[in-house]
Amino acid sequence: IMRNPKKKRTERQKQLRAEKLEKKRLEKEADRVWHEAVIRKWGNICFFENNSKKAKEHKKYTKYGHHYFAKGRYPILRFEVFNGIPICWACHYKAEKFDRTMLADIIVAKGEAWYNRLLKMSQDRKSSFETADYYKKIIEKLQKYLNA
């Protein structure tokens, strides 16, 4: 039986692959810690349930945060706790479909100052995105926030 000979990876290729895997691991860890920090900051009840009339009779608990400014479009705000809102999966689905009334309700509840602060931060352009060191610093910053 003849096998396809596998190309041997060079040491540099192995190093690059290891760095890529480490960066991905750190990115996932930073996301997890961000979710924890959002829940610590704003509570574990769905934002829309907590700010509605029916909140007193039915509360949806959550352990996830939703990015008001999308993390793909605004990477500078991806790990900003103030950009996070605790939200249940049903409301998250509606918000992801850009339900304008939901997005407007968030601004009304959180205030114009909150929105303007995030808008100003979104215009900052840092160049150190998505390196392993960047994620390490983000995790460290969020851990300090959680331990405060």
Mean pLDDT computed over every residue of the chain: 83
Q: What is the pLDDT of residue 50?
A: 64
At 65-77, the pLDDT tens digits run 899 998 888 888 9
Q: Rounded to 5 degrees, what angle do the CA atoms 34, 85, 112 make?
A: 120
Q: What is the pLDDT of residue 126?
A: 64
Query: Model confidence at 87, in pLDDT bands (50, 70, 90)?
Result: confident
Strand partners, 65: 86
Is 18 in a helix, a strand, or coil?
helix
Give the separation between CA 65 and CA 25, rounded to whole angstroms: 19
CA distance 56 to 59: 7
118 has a pLDDT exceeding 90: yes
Over its C-alpha atoms, the chain yields an Rg (Å, rounded) of 20
